[in-house]
Amino acid sequence: MNLKPLDDKIVIKKAEKEETTASGIVLPSSAKEESNIAEVIAIGKGITDDDAKKEELHIGDKVIFSKYAGTEVELEKTAYTILKYTDILAVIE
């Protein structure tokens, strides 16, 4: 089953954060902070039809997004977030 975002929406999959600190301390799940770095899984037609936006964002790109943006959904035991194009802050190159 695939998610197909509408208009200017994007489907992302959040990157997992490390469970240990740089000094080797293992963090419990309650102490972990969610990452705001993700991989673009799907892009809506409103973005692919806009030439300027189409050049900036591609499927597979790593992006940084607003911390409280989007709607989280779970599909086939995988968590995704659907958010607006304007919630993407930067593309990691």
The distance between the two most distant Cα atoms of the chain, rounded to a whole number of Å, is: 47
pLDDT band at 58 (very low <50, low <70, confident <90, very high): very high
Residue 62 lies in a domain: yes
pLDDT of residue 37: 93
pLDDT of residue 74: 94
Domain with 39, as residue range(s), is: 9-16+35-92
Residue 19 vs residue 49, higher pLDDT: 49
pLDDT of residue 84: 96
How many CB atoms within 10 Å of residue 18?
10
Amino acid at 36: N
Residue 21 lies in a domain: no
Residue 30 vs residue 10, higher pLDDT: 10
CA-based nearest residue to 32, from 17, 44, 15, 42: 17
Residue 49 lies in a domain: yes
| Model confidence pTM above 0.85 | no
Residue 1 lies in a domain: no
Q: What is the mean pLDDT of residues 12-28?
A: 75
**CATH number for the domain that contains residue 61:** 2.30.33.40
C-alpha span between 34 and 55 (Å, rounded) = 28
Report how many domains make up the chain.
1
